[in-house]
Every structure is written in C-alpha cells, then in structure tokens.
Chains A and B, each alone.
Chain A
Amino acid sequence: MSETTRTRGWRGRRARIVSCLLTTALLAACAGNGPAGEDGDGAAGNGERPADTARTVDPGAPVSDEHIAQLDVGIPGKVTLVDPADNMEAGLNVNQLGLEPLLRIDPDGELQPWLATEWEQVSDTVYEYTLREGVTFWDGTELTAEDVKYSWDHLRAPESRRATYFAAVDTVEAVDAGTVRVTLTQPDASWQYTPAMWYSVIFQKKFAEETGDAFGQPGTLLVATGPWKFDSVNPASGMELSAYEGYWGGKPPIDRISVKSFADDNSMALALRAGEIDIAPVVSGPTGFDAAAGGNTVTTVETCGTARMSLPMRRAPWDDVHVRRAVAHAINRDDIVAAAQGAAAGPAVYAISPRLLQTLGTEEEVQTALEEIETYPYDLEAAEAELAQSSVPDGFDFDLTVPPSSAAIAEVIAAQLGEIGIDIAVEVLPDTAWYAALREDVRPLTFSATGACTPDPDWDSIFFDTDESGEPIGLNMAQYSSPEVSALWAEGLLEQDPAQRLRIYTDLQKQVAEDVPYISLFAEGTTYASTTYDIAEYNSYFWMNLPWALNLVPK
C-alpha cells in the first residue's frame, strides 16, 4: 500500500468515525428503550410494505398524487442551522427536504439520476457529471456547474465537518455550465457513491458568497433547489418550510411543512398520539415509541449498519483466539435482537454487512461467497470446547464497558457469557467517558454500531484501520492488526471490477472470521413512525439522502 493510500484511508475515515460515533449513540439509545418487536423488524410483515418498495416515478416527482396542505414532522433534537457543511444529526433529516444531491442510490444500491442526468467514470481517477437542464434555485436562477463546484468546495474545505468525505478529491472543475469534473488523488471505488449522499448536497453559490459567514445560520438560511424552501429556523422549536412552486420535478405535493423538535422519543410519541405531528422520520426506540404512540405506528427496515462486539485483542485473555472463538459461539443473537427492542432488524454474523456487497454481484454470487465464511453459530458445547483449549479453561472475569443506553444489551451479553464461566461485569460510562475510553491505549471490551453508510463494503474498513506501521488507529476498537487484512482492504479500494472486489472482500472476511476480532451481533434497523403516512423506499439509510417527503404515501 502506498503512503498516499494510507493517508487517504485515515483522513477519509475520520468523518465516518464521527458519523459512526454519533449514530452509535443514537442506535445505542434504541437498544435501551421499549419492548422488542415480535418479529425483530418492527412493523415488518410478510407482505411488501411501502418502505420496501422502490420509487418508480420520475426523479423529482412525488410517489403519491395526494395533495397535502400541511405536514407536521417531529424530530429528536434541535435544528440549529442549515449549512450542510456544519449541521448535525437532528438537522440532517430536514435539510434533505430542501437540499439535493446529484445522484440517488436505489434500494439495490445502484446509482440513479437526480440533479445529474448522466455520470461517467472517465478514468480510474476522473468522474464527470452532466447536470439536469431546467433545474432552478428558489430565486428562479438556474443551477450551473459553478454552483456544484462551489458547494463541493465548501463541503470539502478544511473547516467543514464533511471535509473528510471528500478526502480522495483532488479537484472539482466546472467544465462548462452543465458539466462537473471530479479528479481523485488516486483510484477509489467508494467515491462513486459520494455524490449521492446527504453530505454532497448542492446550494446556490451567489447567495452563499453574498451572505459570507452568516450562510446557513437561522437568520440567513440558504438557497437551494429542493422542493421545499426553508422559510425559518428556530433552534428552540423547529423549522418552517413551504413548497417551491418552480421545482424541477413539478409542483411539490405538500404546501407547508412544520418541523417540531422533541427532547426524546416519549414526548414525540405522545405528540403523534395527540395528532400534533403527522410523522416522525427517525425513531430511536421503535417498540417503546409504538406503545406510547398507541400502536401500529412504526415501520422498521434493515440497514447496512452492523452492531458488533469488539474484543480487545491486546489484552489478556482476549489475545487468545480460543477465548474469542468461545465467546463467538456463546453469543445467542436471537436474545440480543429481542433485547434491542425493535432497533435490530435481525441477527448479523458477518464482518461486512451483506447489504454492502450487493453491488458487487448477484444475490446468488454474494450468497455463494458468504457461505465460505465461518459464522460461529450459537453452540454452548462448542464454546466450552474452545474455552477448554484456551489459557483460561475455567473462565475469567472482565468488564464490558458501554454507554448508559446500551446497558440492556450488555446485560444480556453478560448473562450469555456467564453460561460458559466468563463473569462479565457491566461497566456503564457516561457517553463522553465511553467515547474517551474508545480512544485509550488500553481498549475496553465493548460494542458499537456502524451507522449510516454508503453501499460500498469499504465503509466497514473503519473498524480495521491501522497506520503505516500496522498499529491500530481510529475505531479499530479490537486493536486488530493483520497485514493480510489491511492489504485486502487497500486492494478492495483500488480494484474497480465488482467480481474481483467481491472475491477480495470474501477473502478478507474469511481471515477476519478466523481471527475473530469482532463479533457481529445484529443488523441495525432504521425506523419511521406515522399513523397517516408511509415513506416509500425507506430502505437502509439511503432515504435520508433525498427530499424524503416526495416519497410519502397515505396509509
């Protein structure tokens, strides 16, 4: 691996680390709240739900023809600003109602047009995007390549929170009014998805230049191309939006959108029950929320995120592979999924979510590849046999360190490991202390969530990061260092052929399964709640990349 590759790898992953930590907190919060869904996937039924259906309408068009005069949206947390380079989790879900990316990721992980109608990989490092004609900003002026260049340069500026998502970018050029060219510093197979993500949205250059430092602040806001204009932001209470009549996709189906901020799930659920809000696009504790909201309100879908337990391989007795394998066999994922109380979409057994492999081959090809990987099914006898071969055949004591919201799952894990003589004490740290513990030289035994991701398998590499000398860094919580695995991650990023990439990631997972630095526990779910509407194509985390209110369908 070249030095530049490694440098890019680390810089490019820092933002994902932040994203993962934030999402971990959010998802961990799910784990502690509310009862378990019977079927482990929230409101999932046997039939196809709107959330699982793909958009079949033209880009920019609403999925339903129904006209809605007023939509009241509840979100957890406050919207303090709308600058996409600087806003935080709470604001992301509503920012997307007004700000749009160039492309869209469909439920199969394939790229589809949005503000760009065509895109082309000119060479290993050069990509070109052709902008849709007739797209106008809220003040009626036309979208140009200069606006895209300005937006992406703003988002990748050093002071931007999104800068590291663009770490692979060397230059962004406006070739002509309708063509944008991106040149990467080196081949990066995961870049293709960046223009379709929520952190790559486009706004007007002119307005941003005029407003300077006040850009995106509550009193200034911004100008973009989305179906709903930002009328006002009140950091204390929420946000008001109204339809942009000149939207390129046609007149938006909703006249006004009011976004209300809530301190927690319970108050949001009670507001839904009282009819004060129509929909909550993000719910952290699905089953508890559903019970508080009166039932039949939540829909959960599986995401590409994986909640995993990390085993600190540089601490005894976790440095013994037999101990790690014993623990892998002793974990009963069904119980953990139930304890996650609606936040888990199902058990997970692989180091890389299978959803991240779906763009690399057919379902059959991916399945065939996954069958090569050892998955350590729940088997107490096998666990005891592995432990008997280890340095601690009679078991041992250890702390499982988690943030407060993850205590319930930690207790289940502790009880399960107790079955084979491993006495786990659950140590609950405040969120900030837990984040700090993840960065200490002596890493804790813990578990965490992946969070929002692109459909590229390289997303999961953040848990395997090493520096040039092979030392674990970043979110490599297991302190796992394997030259073979590091080389395979790098190879996977540089390789452009999907079939070859599938082979690389299969080999990588086989090696990881042999070493067991992590134990995947469950596939993370994402949940919305409403008694009135469904959200079509609420698949994985990709729903939050687009103006999702275009996908509303009446129940």
Chain B
Amino acid sequence: MTEAAVTAPRQLTRRRMKSRPPLLIGLCLGFMALVLLVAVFGEALAPQDPSQQDVLGSLAPPSAEHWLGTDGLGRDVFSRMLAGARSAIMGPLVIAVVAMVCGNLLGLLAGYRAGLVDSLLMRWVDLMVAIPSLLIIIVVAGALGGGYWLAVALLTILTIPTDARVMRAATLEQVPRPYVEAAKTLGVSNGRIMVRHIWPNIAATAVANSVIIFAGSLVAIAGLSFLGLGAAPGTPDWGQMLSENQPLLFTNPVASIAPGIAIALTATAVNLIGDWVYEKMSRRGAAR
C-alpha cells in the first residue's frame, strides 16, 4: 500500500471534521432550531392558555402545573414564554431580511456607480446614521402610541442605512478587481455585474451583517416592549414579560428572569452562528 493510499482517508476525515460545526455552534444551531420550532408552534405546544388569567392564583412559584410559576395576573409563565417566541423571532427576521435586501441594493449601487449616486446615497446614510436610532424610535413610537409592527417598521428604516454603508465598503473593495473589469469589457450590463458577479463575492459580509442585525433587532424590540412601546399589553412577548414581571423579582424570580435569559441566549446564539457562517463563507470564497 502506498503512503498516499494510507493518508487519503485521514485527510478525508480531517476535511470532514473541519466541515462540521464546532460543538458550541452545534449547540447554538440546536437551540435556534428549538426556538424556531417554538416560534412556529409555540401556542400549540404551550401546556396552558398563555392569556388565561387566574388573578387569585397569581405569583405561584414553579411547580409541576406551572413550570415557571405564574405572573401577577396568574398566567402561566412557561406557556407565555413559548407563545412569546414568535414575536421574538418574527420582527427581527423581517427587519434583517428587508434591511438586507434594501441595504445590499443601495450599497451595491453606491459602491459600483460611485460619483453623484454614491455621494447622494452616502450623505443620506451619514444623516441617518448620525440620528440616535433608539432615541428616535422611542420618541416616534411614543408619539404614535407604540405597537409591535410600528417598532419593526421604524427599526427597519433606521437599519437599512447601516447595512448599505457596510455593503458599499465591501463593493468598493470588489470593483477594481479584474473579474469586474473583465465583465465590463465583455459588455455585461451594470445590473448583472452588481447582482451576479459582485454580490456573490460579498455575500459572506451580507449574511454576517444580516445576522448581526437580527440579533440587534431582537434586543432592540425587546427593549421597546420593555418600555411599553413594542408589543401590546397582555401579548405574550419576551420584552413585555421582562417589563411586566420585573416587580416580581422578589416574589417569583423565575418569572422575571426567564424572559431575559431567553433573549440573551437567542441573541448570543444568533451572533455565534453568524460569525461561524461568515468564516465558513469567507473560507469558501478564498478557496474559490
């Protein structure tokens, strides 16, 4: 048997191991899969009606009947946690996707076309980035009475410029490269060059940035709900629950801490997955 024949399976194994996510990322992926499952089927999975009040039975500690106890109105905290996963995931997902589509298009356009288009778009971006986003959202949402989808819309509008700026920088890096010059020489349309040639090369940045936006939006929406400017009162929502159950810290600590843990774990998991995806896509791009 030749040496090559002996080493080949080892290299294959090593390559396979490299392609596998590390344990931490595996845990994060598992956790996020669980969160997504709960977000889709949360209300059906909940052992009790998340909105059912039992005021006289409020503030019960964790028990077999109420795994995380009950809140100030006697509602089952565990069931509300499950039902709250949907609003925790839905809004950030919408923000990340819309911001990614719009931000990528604007970034590509500014970076590729340069000149007046770039100047106009970037001055707008400068203006938007200079605005303290959360403060503006608090003021606008406060003035308009708040609401979950209003918060999502405002966050989306204020996130697009950030994404556009990142994608412009990535595009600027690609524009002088020979493959872009070659495409131009061959007469490929500008739109096609941007979308079919440049974007695939900056996709890792796009995806990673969107994941960061998702995690940031998750925390921001929870914060707005905490301030009463997000989800409507009574809605099972992690941020809302954090606010509602805050005074219960000394009576049913689990009820006030659990939503916070869920928000922190989800945001951390998403960020770690984002980093891992970026590394993986970058490595693939470099290999190409």
Q: Which of A's residues lie within 8 Å of B, judged by CB?
A: 32-36, 266, 285, 287-288, 291-292, 334-336, 338-339, 341, 404, 407-408, 410-412, 414-415, 425-430, 433
**Contacting residue for A334 out of B56, B233, B244, B248, CB 8 A:** B56
Whether the Cβ atoms of B55 and A414 lie closer than 8 Å is no
B142 beta carbon closer than 8 Å to chain A: yes
Contacts of B251 in A (CB 8 A): 34-35, 287-288, 291
Whether the Cβ atoms of A339 and B234 lie closer than 8 Å is no
Contacts of B73 in A (CB 8 A): 339, 408, 411-412
Contacts of B233 in A (CB 8 A): 407, 410-411, 426, 428
Instruction: From known contacts A291-B251, A292-B249, A414-B234, infer whether A35 and B58 are also in contact, taking CB-CB under 8 Å.
Output: yes
Tell me the dominant secondary structure on chain B's binding face: loop
Contacts of A338 in B (CB 8 A): 55-56, 58
Whether the Cβ atoms of B247 and A285 lie closer than 8 Å is yes
B107 beta carbon closer than 8 Å to chain A: no
B120 beta carbon closer than 8 Å to chain A: no
Contacts of B103 in A (CB 8 A): none
Residues of B130-186 whose CB lies within 8 A of A: 142, 145-146
Instruction: From known contacts A285-B247, A288-B247, A414-B234, infer whether A428 and B228 are also in contact, taking CB-CB under 8 Å.
Output: yes
Between A and B, 11 residue pairs with Cβ closer than 8 Å are: A34-B247, A36-B72, A288-B248, A292-B250, A334-B56, A411-B73, A412-B53, A414-B234, A426-B234, A428-B233, A433-B142
Total A-B residue contacts, Cβ distance less than 8 Å: 73
Give the complex CA separation of A285 and B145 in angstroms: 25
B224 beta carbon closer than 8 Å to chain A: no
Whether the Cβ atoms of A288 and B250 lie closer than 8 Å is yes
Whether the Cβ atoms of A426 and B232 lie closer than 8 Å is yes
Whether the Cβ atoms of B250 and A411 lie closer than 8 Å is no
Interface residues in B, total, Cβ within 8 A? 21
Whether the Cβ atoms of B72 and A341 lie closer than 8 Å is yes
- Residue among A404, A408, A426, A427 facing the most chain B CB atoms (10 A cut-off): A408
B59 beta carbon closer than 8 Å to chain A: yes
Give the complex CA separation of A339 and B53 in angstroms: 10
Give the complex CA separation of A339 and B244 in angstroms: 12
Contacts of A428 in B (CB 8 A): 146, 228, 232-233
Q: How far is the CB of B238 from chain A (nearest CB, A)?
A: 17
Convert B71-104 into 0s and 1s, putting 1 for each residue whose CB lies closer than 8 angstroms to a CB of A.
0110000000000000000000000000000000
Give the complex CA separation of A412 and B55 in angstroms: 8
Contacts of A334 in B (CB 8 A): 56
**Contacting residue for A335 out of B55, B145, B244, CB 8 A:** B55
Convert B189-228 into 0s and 1s, putting 1 for each residue whose CB lies closer than 8 angstroms to a CB of A.
0000000000000000000000000000000000000001
Closest 10 CB pairs of A and B: A291-B250, A288-B247, A335-B55, A407-B233, A35-B59, A33-B247, A426-B233, A338-B55, A291-B251, A292-B250
Whether the Cβ atoms of A411 and B56 lie closer than 8 Å is no
CB nearest to A407 among chain B residues: B233
Convert B231-259 into 0s and 1s, putting 1 for each residue whose CB lies closer than 8 angstroms to a CB of A.
01110000000001001111100000000
CB nearest to A341 among chain B residues: B72
Give the complex CA separation of A33 and B59 in angstroms: 12
Sample of 6 further A-B pairs with CB below 8 A, known A34-B251, A410-B233: A292-B249, A334-B56, A338-B56, A339-B73, A407-B228, A430-B142
CB nearest to A292 among chain B residues: B250
Instruction: From known contacts A412-B73, A415-B53, infer whether A425 and B145 are also in contact, taking CB-CB under 8 Å.
Output: no
Whether the Cβ atoms of B248 and A36 lie closer than 8 Å is no
Q: How far is the CB of A307 from chain B (nearest CB, A)?
A: 16
Instruction: From known contacts A292-B250, A429-B145, infer whether A411 and B234 are also in contact, taking CB-CB under 8 Å.
Output: yes
CB nearest to A339 among chain B residues: B55
**Contacting residue for A411 out of B53, B146, B248, CB 8 A:** B53
Whether the Cβ atoms of A427 and B145 lie closer than 8 Å is yes
CB nearest to B56 among chain A residues: A338
**Contacting residue for A404 out of B228, B234, B247, B249, CB 8 A:** B228
CB nearest to A414 among chain B residues: B234
CB nearest to A38 among chain B residues: B56
Q: How far is the CB of A125 from chain B (nearest CB, A)?
A: 49
Q: How far is the CB of B228 from chain A (nearest CB, A)?
A: 5
Q: How far is the CB of B151 from chain A (nearest CB, A)?
A: 14
Contacts of A433 in B (CB 8 A): 142, 145
CB nearest to A295 among chain B residues: B250
Give the complex CA separation of A36 and B146 in angstroms: 29
Q: How far is the CB of A49 from chain B (nearest CB, A)?
A: 23
Give the complex CA separation of A291 and B53 in angstroms: 22
Contacts of A34 in B (CB 8 A): 72, 247-248, 251
Q: How far is the CB of B130 from chain A (nearest CB, A)?
A: 26
- Residue among B146, B248, B250 facing the most chain A CB atoms (10 A cut-off): B250
Give the complex CA separation of A435 and B160 in angstroms: 36
Give the complex CA separation of A501 and B244 in angstroms: 45
- Residue among B56, B232, B249 facing the most chain A CB atoms (10 A cut-off): B56
Give the complex CA separation of A410 and B234 in angstroms: 9
Q: How far is the CB of B66 from chain A (nearest CB, A)?
A: 15
**Contacting residue for A32 out of B142, B232, B247, B249, CB 8 A:** B247
Whether the Cβ atoms of A35 and B56 lie closer than 8 Å is no
Give the complex CA separation of A335 and B72 in angstroms: 11
Q: How far is the CB of B179 from chain A (nearest CB, A)?
A: 55
CB nearest to A337 among chain B residues: B55
Give the complex CA separation of A291 and B251 in angstroms: 6
Whether the Cβ atoms of B244 and A408 lie closer than 8 Å is yes
Give the complex CA separation of A429 and B145 in angstroms: 6
Give the complex CA separation of A428 and B244 in angstroms: 13
Whether the Cβ atoms of A36 and B58 lie closer than 8 Å is yes
Q: How far is the CB of B104 from chain A (nearest CB, A)?
A: 37
CB nearest to B249 among chain A residues: A292
Contacts of B146 in A (CB 8 A): 428
Whether the Cβ atoms of B72 and A35 lie closer than 8 Å is yes
Q: How far is the CB of A224 from chain B (nearest CB, A)?
A: 38
Give the complex CA separation of A78 and B39 in angstroms: 45
Instruction: From known contacts A338-B58, A404-B228, infer whether A35 and B248 are also in contact, taking CB-CB under 8 Å.
Output: yes
Q: How far is the CB of A137 from chain B (nearest CB, A)?
A: 44
Contacts of A425 in B (CB 8 A): 232
CB nearest to B54 among chain A residues: A335
Give the complex CA separation of A1 and B238 in angstroms: 56
Contacts of A341 in B (CB 8 A): 72
Residues of B11-61 whose CB lies within 8 A of A: 51, 53, 55-56, 58-59
Give the complex CA separation of A292 and B246 in angstroms: 11
Contacts of B55 in A (CB 8 A): 36, 335-336, 338-339, 412
Give the complex CA separation of A412 and B89 in angstroms: 27
Contacts of A285 in B (CB 8 A): 247
Give the complex CA separation of A35 and B55 in angstroms: 10
Convert B105-147 into 0s and 1s, putting 1 for each residue whose CB lies closer than 8 angstroms to a CB of A.
0000000000000000000000000000000000000100110
Give the complex CA separation of A32 and B228 in angstroms: 13
Whether the Cβ atoms of B247 and A266 lie closer than 8 Å is yes
Give the complex CA separation of A412 and B54 in angstroms: 9
Contacts of A404 in B (CB 8 A): 228
Give the complex CA separation of A425 and B251 in angstroms: 28
Give the complex CA separation of A407 and B245 in angstroms: 12
Give the complex CA separation of A411 and B146 in angstroms: 17
Contacts of A287 in B (CB 8 A): 251
Contacts of A427 in B (CB 8 A): 145
CB nearest to A31 among chain B residues: B72
Contacts of B247 in A (CB 8 A): 32-34, 266, 285, 288
